Amino acid sequence: MKWANLALANVLMVMAAASVAAPAFTGVQEQVANVERAFAATMKARDHAAFVAFLSDEAVFSGGTQPLRGKKAVADEWKKFFAKPDAPFSWEPDEVEVLASGTLAKTSGPVHGPDGKLIARFSSVWRLEAPNTWRIVFDGGVEVCDCKKP
C-alpha cells in the first residue's frame, strides 16, 4: 500500500509540474512566440524605438477610452510607459495560433505588474508583412479580477 501511495504521489507531482511548464510551440508558432517575446523585451529594456519597430503602420491598440489607430498614435501614447526607469508591466505569450497560410497569428498571455502580480491578459494579432518580418496589427487586453472566490 505504501508503494502505491508513493507512486501516486510521484505521478501527481509530475502532472503538477507539467501543468505549470512553459507551453511548447513549434515551427511558425515558435517564430511568432519569439517575436512577441522580443516585443515584450523592449519594455524591459526601456527601448521605445525598438517597441515602435514592431508596430504595423495600420496598428490598432484598444483598451483605453478610444482605440489608438496607426503606428504614430500608438507610439505617441505608449511613450509614457517608457518614461520611467522601471517597466510598469511585463508580458509573455502562453498561447499562439497561426493561420495555415502562415501570414497571420494571434498571441495571448499574462501581463504582470512590477511586483510580479498578474494584472491582465493581452491578446495581439500579428501579420507577416515581409519575409521574417512580423508586425503587430491589433492589440488589447483585459484586466484580471482580483476577486475573492465564494
- pLDDT (average), residues 121-141: 97
Residue 84 lies in a domain: yes
122: containing domain? 27-143
- pLDDT (average), residues 123-149: 92
- Give this prediction's pTM: 0.81
pLDDT of residue 23: 75
Residue 14 lies in a domain: no
- pLDDT (average), residues 1-24: 47
Confidence label for 24 from pLDDT (cuts 50, 70 and 90): confident
Residue 11 lies in a domain: no
Residue 3 lies in a domain: no
Q: What rounded mean pLDDT belongs to the chain?
A: 88
Q: Give tens-digit pLDDT for 31-52.
A: 999 999 999 999 999 999 999 9
- pLDDT (average), residues 12-26: 56
Residue 93 lies in a domain: yes
8: exposed, middle or buried (Cβ count in 10 Å: 0-12, 13-18, 19+): exposed
Residue 150 lies in a domain: no
The CA distance from 40 to 63, in Å, is 17
Which of residues 54 and 145 earns the better pLDDT score? 54
Answer yes or no: are the C-beta atoms of 123 and 45 closer than 8 Å.
Answer: no
Residue 12 lies in a domain: no
The CA distance from 4 to 39, in Å, is 48
Q: Grid coordinates standing for 107?
A: 498571441
Number of domains into which the chain is organized? 1
- pLDDT (average), residues 18-26: 65
Q: Give tens-digit pLDDT for 102-128.
A: 999 999 999 999 999 999 999 999 999
Please list the alpha-helical segments (H only) found in the chain: 2-20, 27-44, 48-53, 71-78
